[in-house]
C-alpha cells in the first residue's frame, strides 16, 4: 500500500470516529432531555419528604393560603392551597436549611425551620408530617407579639431515633410565651 493511501485511510477513520462520537453525544443529550418528569426530579441528595396540613385554610374571607418553601433566604417554591386542598407535599435535599412560611389574609404568618443536616447517607426518603392552625389577627392582638415573630417549630434529623423530628421543648416554650400577656409599652 502506498503511503498516501495509508494517510487517506487514517484520515477517513478519524472522521468516522469523530462523527460516531458526536452522534452518540447528541443521542445522549436527546435521551437526557426527553426523560419523563418523574425520572428527572429524582434527586440523589433528596432526603426528606415533608407533608403538612393547614387545619383552618378555608376559614375567613379568603378560603385559601400560601405555602412558601425558602432556602438561603429566597423563595424556591410557592404553593397555593385552595378549592378543597388543605395539605401540601415538599421534597427537601440533604444538608440544607429551609423555612416553610404559611400565610393567609387576616391571619398571622407561621414559619417552620428545617435543618436537613445528616451524618449518614439516606437510603431513601425520610418522611415528616405536621398539622398547623393559623392564628387570626383578631386573636393575635391578645397574644405576645414578640413571640409571634419566632418560628413555630424547628425540625431536624434525630440521629438517635433515625428520623426527622421537631424540638418539642422549643415549640412548647414558644407556645407558653405566646400566651403570656404582651408587655405594655408606655
- Tens digit of each residue's pLDDT (9 = 90 or more) over 87-139: 999 999 999 999 999 999 999 999 999 999 998 888 889 999 999 999 999 99
Distance, in Å, from the CA atom of 32 to the CA atom of 36, rounded to the nearest integer, reads 9
Distance, in Å, from the CA atom of 153 to the CA atom of 172, rounded to the nearest integer, reads 9
Question: Helix H segments across the chain?
Answer: 3-33, 37-41, 137-140, 145-148, 168-178
Sort strands 153-158 and 163-166 into parallel, antiparallel or unpaired: antiparallel
Question: What percent of the chain is predicted at pLDDT more than 90?
Answer: 65
| Spatial contact of 94 and 116, defined as CB atoms under 8 Å apart | yes
| Spatial contact of 69 and 97, defined as CB atoms under 8 Å apart | no
96's grid cell: 440544607
Confidence band of 25 (pLDDT split at 50, 70, 90) = very low
Q: Which of 38, 18, 22, 19 is nearest to 30 (CA)?
A: 22
CB atoms within 10 A of CB 164: 22
Q: Which 3-state string (H, E, C) describes 130-143?
A: EEECCEEHHHHCCC
pTM score over 0.85: no
Distance, in Å, from the CA atom of 49 to the CA atom of 150, rounded to the nearest integer, reads 24
Q: Which of 108, 153, 112 is nearest to 135 (CA)?
A: 108
Least confident piece of the model among 14-23, 135-144, 147-156, 176-185: 14-23
Amino acid at each position: 500500500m502506498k503511503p498516501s493511501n495509508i494517510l487517506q485511510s487514517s484520515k477517513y477513520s478519524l472522521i468516522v470516529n469523530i462523527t460516531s462520537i458526536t452522534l452518540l453525544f447528541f443521542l445522549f443529550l436527546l435521551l437526557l432531555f426527553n426523560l419523563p418528569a418523574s425520572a428527572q426530579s429524582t434527586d440523589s441528595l433528596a432526603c426528606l419528604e415533608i407533608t403538612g396540613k393547614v387545619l383552618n385554610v378555608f376559614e375567613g374571607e379568603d378560603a385559601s393560603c400560601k405555602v412558601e418553601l425558602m432556602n438561603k433566604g429566597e423563595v424556591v417554591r410557592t404553593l397555593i392551597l385552595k378549592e378543597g386542598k388543605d395539605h401540601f407535599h415538599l421534597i427537601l435535599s440533604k444538608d440544607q436549611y429551609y423555612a416553610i412560611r404559611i400565610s393567609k389574609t387576616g391571619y398571622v404568618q407561621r414559619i417552620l425551620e428545617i435543618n436537613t443536616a445528616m451524618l449518614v447517607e439516606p437510603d431513601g426518603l425520610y418522611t415528616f408530617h405536621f398539622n398547623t392552625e393559623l392564628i387570626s389577627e383578631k386573636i393575635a392582638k391578645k397574644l405576645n407579639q414578640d413571640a409571634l415573630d419566632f418560628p413555630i417549630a424547628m425540625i431536624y434529623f434525630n440521629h438517635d431515633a433515625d428520623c426527622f423530628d421537631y424540638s418539642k421543648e422549643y415549640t412548647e416554650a414558644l407556645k407558653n410565651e405566646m400566651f403570656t400577656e404582651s408587655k405594655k409599652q408606655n
